[in-house]
Chain A
C-alpha cells in the first residue's frame, strides 16, 4: 500500500499538526461559518456550537453496548477517538420540533415562519451519518416539492467528515457498505493520526477552506496509517446485517414466531426511531391560542412505535407492539429498498445502544430470517 493507492489518490490529503487544527477553526470563522462540533455533555458526545479547537474532547472514546453508553477518558491526545452520541446530523436538518407556519383567523392569513439559519460548518461527521444524510436528502428534497425548511438548513452546511479509526461494539457500517472510511457526501475529509490530521477537500466548497490552511505534505507512512486505521476499524466490527436480497425475505416472515419474542421485550418507547439517523417520520398538528385567533402548525418527530402514527380517525392500524416492531424492521430493511433504492440502515448501531432494553436489530433480523419456516 502506498500513495498510489486509488483511495489515497482520490483524497490527496495534506498534513495538519494537532496544534494547527486551530487554524481550521479560524478560517471557518473568517468565512462566516458558525461551527458545530462534538462536546462532552451529560456523559455523551453531543454536537454544539464551538469557537475554538481546544473545546473538542481529548482522549475520549466510547463504550457502546446494547442499552449501554459510557464515555471513557484515555491518556491519548486524540480528539475524534469517539464514534458518536445519540444524534448526528438528523436534528441539524430535520428539526425535532418546529413551527412550519403561523395562522391568524380574522382575516385568514397564513404566514411562513422561516427557520433562523446561519452558514454552519459541522466538524467530525462520520461516514454512517453522511450516508444517512443522503437518505434523508432523498426523502425530503427529491420530487417537485422539496421540504423548504429542511432544504434551507441542508444548504447552509459545510460538512467536515472524519474517518473512524475504531468502531464501537454496536457499529456495523462495514456490512451496510457505509463506513468506517468516509466515502463521499462531505466537503472536507479528515483522518486522525497520533501526531495530527490528514485533511483533504472533497468539494469546491471545501477547497476554499483547504486552500487557506498551509498544509504540510503527507508522508507515505501517514497515508498508510490512514488506510490501515479504517481497515482495522472495519475488521473489528462485531455485528453485521445479511445482504439486501436476503433482507427482502423479511416480507415472507410476517407471521414468524420471533416477532412475538421481540414484542415481549420491546417497550414501544420509540427511542430507536428517534436516534436513527435515517428515520424521517413526523406528525404535524395545530396548536391554537386559547382565544382561537392564532394558530401554529407544529411538526415534530413521530415514530412507528407510537399509537398516533398508524391511527386513521379513531382507528389504529397497528395496535400491538408486535405489529409496530415488525413495521419498523421490515420497512427499514426491506421496504426502503424499493422506496429509496437501498436499505434504511447505515449501520450506526445507535438503535442498539440507545434502546433502553438493548434490543439489537441485527440479532432480531437474523432470528426472523433463520428460524422457522417461510410463510406462504
Chain B
C-alpha cells in the first residue's frame, strides 16, 4: 500500500445497493473516512472515476452481463486489494436463483422483446472471474463489518474473519432459541454470525442471509426440521435462497433436492 493516503474505490455490479448503504450509514466514522483514505470512486456518494488505480476496491454486486465480465477485469487490474461485499458479490446474490432455471425461458416469459437484453445465462460471484483478496458476507453487510475490515487493511493486518455461527451471537444476546422454544425452524446453526442474530431477536428463525457457517450439517438439520413439519424440499429452498450459490449452501440444497443426504458422497 502506498505511503500517502490510500485510495479507495467502491464499485457496483448487479445488486440492490444495500451494501453501499452500510458504508453511508457508518455514522461518525463516515466523517473520519475521508481523513484516512482518498475516496476516488463511489458513484452512489458522489465521486466518480471508475477506471482509477486504487489501493482498495470494495466490490458490490454479481456478474450478470458480458459488460460486467469486462469491467471486473479492469477493476482487478486497477486494484491492489479487492474486497467483495455482500451476498451478490460473494455468491451471486438472490438474483442467482435464476441459475436454477432456464434463463431464456424466463426472459421470454417476462419481456416482450428479450433479444434486446444482453445477459449471461447465470448470475455469478466475482471470485469466479478474478482473484478476490477478501470478502464480507451478509445481505446486506453492516457498518461494524466495514469498519473492522477497513481498519485492519489500513493497519496492514489480516482482517478478522467471522467464523462462528449465528447461534453464538444469539446466545450471547440472551435470546430465546426459536427452534427449541417455538419449534420454528431456524437456519442459525448453519449460518455465519455477523448480523447480531437479528431474526431470532424478532422471534423468528434465521433464513441464512449471512451465508454458510464454517460447518454446515444439512443432514442433521433435515432430520430435526422434518420433525417440525418442514420437509426436504422446503429445507432445500432455505439453502437455495439469498446466498444460494455459496458452495456449502448450494451443495446442501442440491443434496436435499436429490434426496442424497450422505455428506461424504
Residues in chain A within 8 A of chain B (CB atoms) = 41-44, 46, 67-70, 85-87, 91, 96-97, 264-271, 274-275, 285, 287-292, 300-303, 306-308, 321, 353-358
Asked if A308 contacts B150 (CB within 8 A), the reply is no
Asked if B160 contacts A289 (CB within 8 A), the reply is no
Question: Which residues of A lie under 8 Å from residue B35 when comparing CB positions?
Answer: 291
Asked if A43 contacts B188 (CB within 8 A), the reply is no
Asked if B160 contacts A306 (CB within 8 A), the reply is no
Given A96-B172, A291-B36, A292-B154: A270 touches B220 (CB 8 Å cut-off): no
Number of interface residues of B (CB under 8 A): 45
Asked if A91 contacts B174 (CB within 8 A), the reply is yes
Given A69-B181, A357-B224, A358-B224: A97 touches B172 (CB 8 Å cut-off): yes
A selection of 26 A-B contacts at a CB cut-off of 8 Å is A42-B175, A85-B176, A96-B171, A96-B173, A264-B217, A264-B219, A265-B220, A267-B221, A268-B189, A270-B165, A271-B177, A274-B168, A290-B29, A290-B147, A290-B151, A291-B36, A292-B151, A301-B171, A302-B168, A306-B165, A307-B214, A307-B215, A353-B180, A356-B189, A357-B223, A358-B224
Asked if A300 contacts B172 (CB within 8 A), the reply is yes
Asked if B182 contacts A43 (CB within 8 A), the reply is yes
Taking CB as reference atom, which chain A residue is nearest B215? Answer: A268
Q: Which 5 A-B pairs have the closest CB atoms?
A: A274-B171, A269-B189, A96-B172, A290-B29, A267-B189
Asked if A321 contacts B217 (CB within 8 A), the reply is yes
Alpha-carbon distance between A356 and B175 when the two chains are bound, in angstroms: 14
Taking CB as reference atom, which chain B residue is nearest A274? Answer: B171
Interface residue? B163 (CB, 8 A): yes
Asked if B220 contacts A271 (CB within 8 A), the reply is no
Please name 17 further chain A to chain B contacts, defined as beta carbons within 8 Å, in addition to the given A264-B217, A306-B163, A357-B224, sorted by A numbering.
A67-B224, A85-B176, A265-B217, A267-B220, A268-B165, A268-B215, A269-B165, A289-B29, A289-B147, A290-B32, A290-B151, A292-B155, A301-B171, A302-B168, A303-B164, A306-B164, A356-B177
Residue among B173, B175, B180, B182 with the highest chain A CB neighbour number at 10 A: B180
Residues in chain B within 8 A of chain A (CB atoms) = 26, 29, 32-33, 35-36, 147-148, 150-151, 154-155, 160, 163-165, 167-168, 171-177, 179-183, 186, 188-190, 203, 213-215, 217, 219-221, 223-224, 263
Alpha-carbon distance between A67 and B221 when the two chains are bound, in angstroms: 12
Question: Which residues of A lie under 8 Å from residue B151 when comparing CB positions?
Answer: 288-290, 292
Residue among A42, A290, A301, A307 with the highest chain B CB neighbour number at 10 A: A290
Alpha-carbon distance between A44 and B174 when the two chains are bound, in angstroms: 11
Alpha-carbon distance between A268 and B151 when the two chains are bound, in angstroms: 30
Question: Which residues of A lie under 8 Å from residue B220 when comparing CB positions?
Answer: 264-267, 357
Given A291-B36, A357-B224: A274 touches B172 (CB 8 Å cut-off): yes
Asked if A290 contacts B164 (CB within 8 A), the reply is no
Asked if B188 contacts A46 (CB within 8 A), the reply is no
Partner of A87, one of B36, B150, B174: B174
Given A43-B176, A43-B181, A268-B217: A306 touches B168 (CB 8 Å cut-off): yes
Alpha-carbon distance between A353 and B176 when the two chains are bound, in angstroms: 12
Alpha-carbon distance between A69 and B181 when the two chains are bound, in angstroms: 5
Question: Which residues of B lie under 8 Å from residue A270 when comparing CB positions?
Answer: 164-165, 167-168, 171
Write the nearest CB–CB distance from A275 to chain B, whole angstroms.
7
Given A267-B220, A290-B151, A307-B214: A356 touches B179 (CB 8 Å cut-off): yes
Alpha-carbon distance between A67 and B183 when the two chains are bound, in angstroms: 9
Alpha-carbon distance between A338 and B175 when the two chains are bound, in angstroms: 34
Alpha-carbon distance between A87 and B181 when the two chains are bound, in angstroms: 14
Taking CB as reference atom, which chain A residue is nearest B173? Answer: A96
Alpha-carbon distance between A96 and B172 when the two chains are bound, in angstroms: 5
Question: Which residues of B lie under 8 Å from residue A274 when comparing CB positions?
Answer: 167-168, 171-172
Taking CB as reference atom, which chain B residue is nearest A314? Answer: B158
Asked if B167 contacts A356 (CB within 8 A), the reply is yes
Question: Which residues of B lie under 8 Å from residue A285 when comparing CB positions?
Answer: 160
Partner of B203, one of A42, A266, A308: A42
Write the nearest CB–CB distance from A364 to chain B, whole angstroms.
14
Taking CB as reference atom, which chain B residue is nearest A301? Answer: B172
Alpha-carbon distance between A274 and B151 when the two chains are bound, in angstroms: 30
Asked if A46 contacts B176 (CB within 8 A), the reply is yes
Partner of B167, one of A44, A70, A271, A292: A271
Question: Which residues of A lie under 8 Å from residue B189 when comparing CB positions?
Answer: 267-269, 271, 356
Partner of A267, one of B148, B163, B175, B217: B217
Question: Which residues of B lie under 8 Å from residue A44 when comparing CB positions?
Answer: 176, 181
Asked if B180 contacts A68 (CB within 8 A), the reply is yes
Write the nearest CB–CB distance from B252 to chain A, whole angstroms.
12
Alpha-carbon distance between A274 and B173 when the two chains are bound, in angstroms: 11
Given A290-B32, A306-B168: A96 touches B163 (CB 8 Å cut-off): no
Question: Which residues of A lie under 8 Å from residue B176 when comparing CB positions?
Answer: 41-44, 46, 85-86
Write the nearest CB–CB distance from A258 to chain B, whole angstroms.
16
Taking CB as reference atom, which chain A residue is nearest B37? Answer: A290
Write the nearest CB–CB distance from B262 to chain A, whole angstroms.
10
Asked if A290 contacts B33 (CB within 8 A), the reply is yes
Asked if B217 contacts A303 (CB within 8 A), the reply is no
Alpha-carbon distance between A70 and B184 when the two chains are bound, in angstroms: 13
